[in-house]
Structure 1
């Protein structure tokens, strides 16, 4: 019985470990491996909550540990990825994988070679941290979310390097490697993370279709989109998630007025 209560926290620790490895790859500029480990971390993030509900072993420590893990996996890493994308979009930027411990680098430690616009990508880290802190004290977010969850935002940002590598359509590449598109996406990301917009959660209190028809529809929609469009589907899925939530909220509000 005592061992059972530690299982969700162990899964959360695996999320934290995955995020830390992803951060190392992201700093090195290996965005594909970073995306892989973020995906693994999000997988663990989903199952730690599921395990806690199934085992009925929720705890305050688990809540705080979950947010700390999400801060790394779905907050820090996406911010570094945005920074790296800015560097690739800007001409003549420095090689972030260069040996910073060389004697030549040691003699030029006071030089600043980082474009200031690239640092805008790190605003995602700050916005994610604020969103997670707010989530921990917001009693409205037990069965749904207020603002875009950090894992969803991470998937949105991590889809960009995957599209560049595996689906390099000229239009997609030109858009993703446009610094002003990246500025707009960063601002959009920061706003949506903390927007006062209720979004449905994929949490099942039971498995009935009547109570979960929106969730079942969305899961089926996601699977179809991924099969058809692969990584390009991810930004479309996130946009659809926000739109479906807004439509659902308006529908529920109309029902309450009629009642």
Structure 2
């Protein structure tokens, strides 16, 4: 029976990483937050694999997985967008203690615009709720998975930190770009957009050709472009899914 709890333990590690990431994101340390989010997504991938290997699927595990994803791939990316908005508009991360100080109430509504980034959190919650009741999403996805959207959003502070350029800063820290990205994320998360899954039921190339080709391209892009590759990979994922669907 203890072996059957291993997938839930892995899911719990995802949740723990997500909680830690939230604290670092609130404090403005988006790089450290990214590390814990990536760890959480790593655990999120392997909890399903462990459940399949141990034949330990359960309704509790399904709900726990969504709750963990809500933190790691819902709350955390929303806060990252809030901090990017704040840096774009005020030149620095949002300080929660200053926000609720007595003098803050005399500030303009302009200072609260960054909270629009939390729309991604709301859209992620709705997407996860739909996923739990949608019987179509057993081996593929309808709409962009929350971990993929999270990787996209967390790539932005990593690009600014590790691959800084004036062009990158001008684009990423543009309020209009961030507004458009927020809206696009909310739409992609819940769009009726069929996307292939990365779960391998067998290891044969013929039945997994699209997955093997995609993973190979991901490795090449990451080697060449580093963190800039992540947005390119998400776009490639959508384009390959559309092409794969039209061919199937």
For 2:79 and 2:148, the matched residues in 1 are separated by 16
CA distance in structure 2 between the partners assigned to 1:246 and 1:67 by the alignment = 26
Q: Does 1:16 align with 2:12?
A: no
Helix, strand or coil: the match of 1:145? Answer: strand
| Contact map agreement 2:80 2:154 (CA 8 A) in 1 | yes
1:176 alignment counterpart: 172
Does structure 1 residue 188 correspond to structure 2 residue 188? no
What residue is the counterpart of 1:139 in the other structure? 135
Task: Give the Cα–Cα distance (whole angstroms) in 1 for the partners of residues 78 and 102 of structure 2.
Answer: 29
Partner residue in 1 for 2:229? 233
Match of 1:251?
Answer: 247
TM (normalized to structure 2)? 0.95
Which runs of no fewer than 5 residues in structure 1 stay unpaired? Answer: 253-259
For the aligned residue pairs, the C-alpha RMSD in angstroms reads 1.7
SS at match of 1:73: helix
Runs of 4+ in 1 over 3 A off after TM superposition: 97-101, 105-114
- How many Å separate the matches in 2 of 1:108 and 1:173? 30
> CA 1:9–1:117 in 2, change beyond 3 Å: closer, same or farther?
same
Contact 2:87 2:94 in 1 (8 A): no
Change (3 A) 1:112 1:17: farther
Alpha-carbon distance, 1:91 to partner: 3.5
Counterpart residue number, 2:115: 119
Aligned to 1:257: none
Deviations 1:120-145 (A, max 9, x none): 11100000000000000000000000
Question: 1:91–1:100: structure 2 CA closer, same or farther, 3 Å change rule?
Answer: closer
In our comparison, the structure showing a higher alpha carbon Rg is 1
Name 2:43's counterpart in structure 1: 44
Shift of 1:119: 1.5
Cα displacement (A) at 1:168: 0.8
